[in-house]
Chain A
């Protein structure tokens, strides 16, 4: 396993207990039907990223990471790469909540693969904005940013979930299949990739210069 995989494994080992607290909350929300699949999938995956960063915001913990025989570039790269496993965990939890909701007699609407793609897109977008702020602000301003992002995740994933259900454009994307939606999808994907690359370069630059 490469160092990047070990760094992601570290983050998962660090945050999984915090995530266990989220499961009953999500189950309760499934029962109340206050969220959809998007919400159940985005919230835990985004929370994993934010919590992993928060746990390492203290200077002492940052020194632990910096003392490992891993370059700073790889440390930053691992943070971005961790979005993929977090998204998979989030999607698994989202599906689990759908089953829970059905068992509780409160079925939520059918889950489409496009929603899983959208979960990944949202998480990448979130990481692209959150991580440079994390590397730039350090412990000082991060508490406020973390709170703002948690609110953003909750409001954003719920709104996006409703949009996916109710917006005609979104419905066309879901109903017409991938080929007719391809141009829009391609533009969205390219935009996210471009943003992600710019964000990664910025985070590299910020973290490489920082004294910990």
Chain B
């Protein structure tokens, strides 16, 4: 399987925060979800792929080319959606498009106009007059209008209403249909990724937790619920994260078979959602209600 992006042993230090030994891939023809709590390093990893941030160690390959020095032309094959508005606020959509379209050899004006119409964006409107959701729509229209082989989207659904969030997910599913395009989608709203992602890359506190297919992740993990009498030090050691109350507990175990052996029918074993996996992994053993 070919890889649109290959991140190998990447590290970066910012004051007290450190990304360390990150390895993962964005497989061609698939949607990869990059998840993790706020401040876990998702945006830094994305900015490294865009060569906005240089890694202190390790390497990144885009379409089989190692990013080093002058790899700017590779960005022509990337449609990038930032987590913030990075366009010039005082310009209209029309003028902003006039500024950026010449940089992309495969810019498709008809397609761009089609997206403006679909997203109900007026090209005479100034960017500062757009709502957060509309700015995101404009950003998407730009990213999708130059036949990019890879879409890199940093928190694209943050701040969007549920209707457009659903529309966006449908749109991305449409875009991935031809099997040549790849999508990297970072989000802390894991429900979106539950719906569309093929692979999940989970980063927590600057470390890679896993890079697996979504089905494997959901299959491997198990949410255990039971009474407090079941917990002792050995059993607690099984949990990736646990939330205890006065009457019972619920916790995540990353090895379903081990959980089944330990609890049998004594506890309730459920398939967790991605949100629960992120929650319990981030909290670890610290949660007590």
Binding site for B on A (CB under 8 A): 1, 3, 6, 9-10, 13-14, 17, 55, 60-61, 63-64, 66-74, 209, 211-212
Binds A, one of B85-93, B182-190, B219-227: B85-93
Given known contacts A10-B99, A69-B73, A69-B76, is B54 in contact with A211 (CB within 8 Å)? yes
Once the chains are docked, how many angstroms separate the CA of A10 from the CA of B54?
26
6 A-B pairs closest in CB distance: A69-B76, A71-B72, A69-B75, A64-B86, A60-B86, A211-B53
> Is B76 in contact with A67, judged by CB distance below 8 angstroms?
no
Verify if B288 is at the interface (C-beta below 8 Å from A): no
- Within the complex, what minimum Cβ distance (angstroms) separates A79 from chain B? 16
How many chain-B residues does the 8 Å CB contact rule pick out? 28
B229 within 8 A of A: no
Is the pair B82, A63 in contact by a Cβ cutoff of 8 Å? yes
Asked whether, in the complex, the Cβ of A14 is within 8 Å of the Cβ of B100, the reply is no
Indicate if the CB atoms of B70 and A71 lie closer than 8 Å.
yes
Residue contact B103 to A69, C-beta cutoff 8 Å: yes
> Is there an interface contact between B52 and A212, defined as CB atoms closer than 8 Å?
yes
Tell me if B117 is interfacial: C-beta within 8 Å of chain A. Answer: no
A70 with B99: CB separation less than 8 A: no
Q: Which residues of B contact A211 (CB under 8 A)?
A: 47, 52-54
- Closest chain-B Cβ to A3's Cβ sits at a distance in Å of 7
Cβ B82 vs Cβ A13 within 8 A: no
Q: A13-B98, A13-B99, A14-B91 are in contact. Are A67 and B86 (CB under 8 A)?
A: yes
CA distance A22 to B74 in the complex (A): 40
Residue of B nearest to A210 (CB): B54
A73: which B residues are within 8 A, CB to CB?
Answer: 70
Shortest beta-carbon distance from B120 to chain A in Å: 24
Distance to closest chain B CB from A51 (angstroms) = 12
Chain B residues within 8 Å of A, Cβ to Cβ: 47, 50-54, 70, 72-76, 80, 82, 84-88, 90-91, 95, 98-100, 102-104
A17 contacts across to B, CB distance below 8 A: 90
Bound state CA distance, A181 and B252, in angstroms? 83
B87–A64 CB distance below 8 A:
yes
For the complex, what is the distance from the CA of A3 to the CA of B99, rounded to whole Å?
Answer: 11
| Chain B residues with CB below 8 A from A1, complex form | 102
Contact B87 A13 (CB under 8 A): no
A66–B53 Cα gap in the complex (Å)? 10
Q: How far does the Cβ of A118 sit from chain B's closest Cβ, in whole Å?
A: 32
Residues of A within 8 A of B75 (CB): 67-69
Q: In the complex, A125→B119 CA distance in Å?
A: 47
Q: In the assembled complex, which residues on chain A have CB atoms less than 8 Å from the CB atom of B90?
A: 17
Chain B nearest Cβ from A136, distance in angstroms: 17
- Interchain nearest-CB distance for A163 vs B (Å): 38
CB-defined contacts of B88 to chain A, threshold 8 Å: 14, 55, 61, 64
Residues of A contacting B82 with CB < 8 Å? 60, 63, 67
CB distance from B151 to the nearest CB of A (A): 13
Given contacts A13-B91, A17-B90, A69-B73, 15 further A-B contacts (CB under 8 A): A10-B99, A14-B88, A14-B91, A14-B99, A64-B86, A66-B52, A68-B75, A68-B103, A69-B75, A69-B103, A71-B70, A72-B72, A211-B52, A211-B53, A211-B54
Report chain B residues within 8 Å CB of A14. 88, 91, 99
CA distance A3 to B73 in the complex (A): 11
B54–A209 CB distance below 8 A: yes
What distance in Å separates the Cβ of A142 from its nearest Cβ neighbour in chain B?
17
- The answer to whether A69 touches B104, judged by C-beta atoms less than 8 angstroms apart, is yes
Shortest C-beta distance, B80 to chain A (Å), equals 5
A74 and B69 alpha carbons, distance in the complex (Å): 12
In the bound complex, residues from chain A placing their C-beta under 8 Å from that of B102 are 1, 6, 9
Residues of B within 8 A of A60 (CB): 82, 84-86
Residues of A within 8 A of B51 (CB): 66
Residues of A contacting B84 in the complex (Cβ-Cβ under 8 angstroms):
60, 63
Across the interface, name the chain B residue whose C-beta is closest to A72: B72
